[in-house]
Amino acid sequence: MPFKDRSDAGRKLAKALAAYHDQEPVILALPRGGVPVAAEVAAALKAPLDLTLVRKIGVPIQPELAMGAVVDGGAPIIVRNDDVIRLAGVDEAEFKAICDSELAEIERRRQRYLGARDRAKVASCTAIVVDDGVATGATTRAALRATRMRKPKKLVLAVPVAPTDTLASLRGDADDVICLEDYELFGAIGMYYADFDQVTDDEVIKLLKRFPAGMKQPAV
């Protein structure tokens, strides 16, 4: 088992990202599971922490299987996995309905997690997008494309674990990809953690309070 829990994965990931310490990094976590990982990276790199609000668009009869993803923004970015959509027999009306539902959940999370909190500056900085792992890559790809639109100096994807083929497909969406473990036969992300309990909203809020977006040192 490569990782004890998300914090352990974050500490190990931070070591692999040490070269970015002096490159004005800003850490962007995918909630909820990516936040404990990203918090460890932000602490080690003395970097601000913020969120990239992205939701998987799951197949109706198998919600864990991503047929796309949507990212919050002035004009929400939607990434489609057309092969999955076709194989699942999902029509456009059904896809749009699920997409709208996920956008509503993004808005709920934005209000709950961020409220009036200042957002981290990304333009001209090194943006490091962090999650607890990659599965199909749809959610990750959407997050990277949305972050690219914020004009970072450099865009980095950093994850503890991912499928080998998905990781290769994501390299075109980032300037650098850091992954500690990749496997040709993958399964689920949780298989690589001894403790993969669901991260709660309260845990996300508590971690964000330690890292005000405009600060480069965690609050004490």
Q: Do 20 and 130 contact (CB within 8 A), yes or no? A: no
Q: Which pLDDT tens digit goes with each residue over 9-62?
A: 999 999 999 999 999 899 999 999 999 999 999 999 999 999 999 888 999 998
Architecture of domain 6-53+118-210: 3-Layer(aba) Sandwich (3.40)
Say which DSSP state 193 is in.
B
User: Structural domain boundaries of the chain?
Assistant: 6-53+118-210, 56-112
pTM of the predicted protein model: 0.86
Tally of residues, the chain: 220
Q: What is the pLDDT of residues 87-121, one digit of tens each?
A: 999 999 999 999 999 999 888 888 899 888 888 88
Distance (Å, whole) CA 193 – CA 43: 21
Has residue 128 got a pLDDT over 90?
yes
Average pLDDT, the chain: 91
Q: Which residues contact 9 (CB under 8 A, 6 or more apart)?
A: 2, 3, 37, 40, 132, 160, 161, 180, 193
